[in-house]
Amino acid sequence: MIIENRITKISKRLSYILRHEPQRYKVTLDKEGWADIDYLLNSLHNFKDLTDLKKEDLLDLILNQEKVRFVIKKNKIKATYGHTIELKRNTSTIPPPDILYHGTSHKSIESIIINGLLRMQRQFVHLSIDIHTAIETGKRRDGNPVIIEVDSKTAYKEGRILFYKGSDKVWLSEIILPKYLKVIN
If one asks whether residue 129 binds ligand HQG (CB under 6 A), the answer comes out as no
Rank residues 74 and 114 by Cβ distance to ligand HQG and give the closer one.
Answer: 114
Least distance to ligand HQG from the beta carbon of 144, Å?
14
What mask of x and - would describe binding to ligand HQG in positions 131 to 150, judged by CB under 6 A? ------x---x---------
Say whether residue 44 binds ligand HQG (CB under 6 A): no
DSSP H/E element including 6: helix 4-19
CB 75 within 8 A of CB 38: yes
> Which of 13, 78, 83, 126 is in the footprint of ligand HQG by CB under 6 A?
126
Q: Cα(4)–Cα(21) distance, rounded to whole angstroms? A: 25
What is the pattern of x (binds ligand HQG, CB under 6 A) and - over residues 57-96? ------------x------------x--------------
Residue 118 in contact with ligand HQG, rule: CB under 6 A: yes
> 35, 127, 44: which is closest to 79 by C-alpha?
35
120 scored as a contact of ligand HQG (CB under 6 A): yes
Geometric angle at alpha carbon 112, from 109 and 114, rounded to 5°: 115
Asked if residues 101 and 76 have their Cβ atoms less than 8 Å apart, the reply is no
17-40 burial string, b = 16+ CB within 10 Å, else e? bbbeebeebebebeeebbbbbebb
Give the binding site for ligand HQG (CB under 6 A). Answer: 15, 69, 82, 104-105, 108, 111-112, 115, 117-118, 120-122, 126, 137, 141, 170
